[in-house]
Amino acid sequence: MNAQSAASPAATLLVCVTCKSEQGPLGAGLFAALADRLAGEMDIALRPIECLSVCKRPCTVALAAPGKWTYVVGDLTREAHVEDIVIAARRYAASPGGIVPWRERPISFRKGVVSRTPPLALTDASLS
Amino acid sequence: MNAQSAASPAATLLVCVTCKSEQGPLGAGLFAALADRLAGEMDIALRPIECLSVCKRPCTVALAAPGKWTYVVGDLTREAHVEDIVIAARRYAASPGGIVPWRERPISFRKGVVSRTPPLALTDASLS
Write down the ipTM of this complex: 0.90
State the nearest Cα–Cα gap between A64 and chain B, in angstroms. 8
pTM value is 0.91
The residue ranges of chain A whose pLDDT is under 50 are 1-7, 128
Q: What is the pLDDT of residue B123?
A: 77
CB count in 10 Å sphere of residue B77:
16
Closest of A82, A88, A86, A79 to residue A21, by C-alpha: A79
Ordered alpha helix ranges (H), chain B: 27-38, 78-94, 107-111, 120-125
Write phi, then psi, for A22 (nearest 5 degrees): -65, -20
Distance CA B33, CA B53 (A): 22
What's A104's DSSP letter? G
Render pLDDT for B60-113 as a digit per residue (tens, 0 to 9). 999 999 999 999 999 999 999 999 999 999 999 999 999 999 999 999 999 999
Q: What percent of chain B has pLDDT over 90?
A: 82
**A11 shares contact with chain B (CB less than 8 Å):** no
Tell me which chain B residue has its CA closest to the CA of residue A69.
Answer: B52
Name the region of B53 (left: φ>0; alpha: ψ -120 to 50; beta: rest): left
Contacts of B46 in chain A (CB under 8 A): none
Cβ-contact B92, B98 below 8 angstroms: yes
State the nearest Cα–Cα gap between A74 and chain B, in angstroms. 10
Maximum separation of any 2 CA atoms in chain B, in Å: 51
- Report CA B78 to chain centroid distance, whole Å: 14
- Judged by CB atoms closer than 8 Å, whether chains meet at B126 and A47 is answered as yes
Cβ-contact B100, B116 below 8 angstroms: no
Cβ-contact A37, A66 below 8 angstroms: no
Contacts of B79 (CB under 8 A, 6+ apart): none
Maximum separation of any 2 CA atoms in chain A, in Å: 51
Closest of B58, B61, B21 to residue B37, by C-alpha: B61
**Which residues, in sequence order, are bridge partners of residue B20?**
B25
Q: What is the pLDDT of residue B49?
A: 96
